[in-house]
Amino acid sequence: MTSSFGISVRAGGAKVAFSALRGTNHEPSDLSNKSLTIYFDQVLVNIGNHFDLQESAFQAPRRGIYSFSFHVVKVYNRQTIQVNLMHNEYPIISAFAGDQDVTREAASNSVLLHLEQEDKLYLKLERGNLMGGWRYSTFSGFLVFPL
């Protein structure tokens, strides 16, 4: 199948997709989570099994163009949250919510990335606390096409 832009949107038989959520609040302490990795506790979709729930990280099974998105909600007013999408330990994109008068404010972002096989992606909480009780925090990705 080819889009109106002449780009093939078939993944060439490779099916890779995941979507994870957090069902509880995320309030890391220095003792419990020094890396500040955002850990997810439920996987909704994990086609190809390339999202590791225990590490809460995605590892690319092949070279290609991938799409990633995340959505988080802060827990408290008078606080700021910042979340980074990490690619092999380096921040690629961030989301920020800092309205001091709003208790529950959302931050989201999405990106297309050219990944190599075994590249690793995960979310890192740079500051603040995340709400999770109603499954507000999510992380999803899929292979758009292999290269």
pLDDT of residue 59: 98
**Beta-bridge partners for 64:** 115, 146
Check: CB of residue 122 under 8 Å from CB of residue 56: yes
Q: Where are the domains of the chain?
A: 19-146
Compute how many other C-beta atoms are within 10 angstroms of the C-beta atom of residue 105. 20
Cα(33)–Cα(27) distance, integer angstroms: 9
pTM: 0.82
Note the pLDDT tens digit of each residue in 85-131: 999 999 999 998 866 665 667 889 999 999 999 999 999 988 777 66
Under CATH, what is the fold of the domain 19-146?
Jelly Rolls (2.60.120)
